[in-house]
């Protein structure tokens, strides 16, 4: 069964918590297991926060799609950044720079494409989805 949910929030740092809350609520409704919830919470937090911090967007769009055993999460910004998001060097002592490395570690696949209309980016990640009744 193909399931989909989308929402949009203001491009504010405080909206990252609301994005996490909405994603977790939707995944619980879809019956996701704890591993899926934990991974999705971290990934959406990183993707949403990056969109807020590194673009000049007014709003950030989020979409979840469950297809078979994969959960696809997309974050759409309105930014005019000249480069696409990419993993930083991951300085262990510094603040930031490790978010997309974490996304890479938790995801089956992830990537970036231009947003519709040529303004902004869509950063997507696919995670293995497990139902709560799997043991």
- DSSP one-letter string for 75-86: EE-----SS---
Question: What does DSSP assign to residue 3?
Answer: E
Q: Decide if pLDDT at 35 tops 60.
A: yes
pLDDT tens-digit map of 111-123: 999 998 878 999 9
Q: In the predicted model, what is the mean pLDDT of residues 99-125? A: 91
pLDDT score recorded for residue 134: 54
pLDDT score recorded for residue 84: 54
Q: Higher pLDDT residue, 98 or 94?
A: 98
CA distances from 34 to 10, 38, 67, 110 (A): 28, 6, 18, 21
Q: In the predicted model, what is the mean pLDDT of residues 15-29? A: 97
Q: In the predicted model, what is the mean pLDDT of residues 7-15? A: 96
């Amino acid at each position: 069964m193909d399931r989909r949910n989308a929402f949009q929030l203001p491009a504010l740092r405080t909206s990252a918590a609301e994005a996490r809350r909405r994603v977790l609520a939707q995944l619980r409704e879809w019956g996701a297991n704890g591993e899926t919830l934990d991974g999705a919470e971290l990934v959406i937090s990183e993707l949403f926060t990056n969109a807020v911090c590194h673009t000049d967007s007014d709003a950030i769009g989020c979409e979840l799609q469950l297809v078979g055993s994969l959960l696809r999460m997309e974050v759409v910004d309105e930014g005019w950044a000249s480069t696409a998001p990419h993993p930083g060097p991951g300085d262990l002592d510094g603040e930031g720079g490790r978010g997309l490395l974490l996304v890479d570690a938790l995801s089956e696949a992830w990537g970036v494409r231009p947003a519709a209309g040529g303004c902004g980016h869509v950063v997507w990640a696919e995670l293995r989805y497990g139902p709560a009744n799997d043991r």
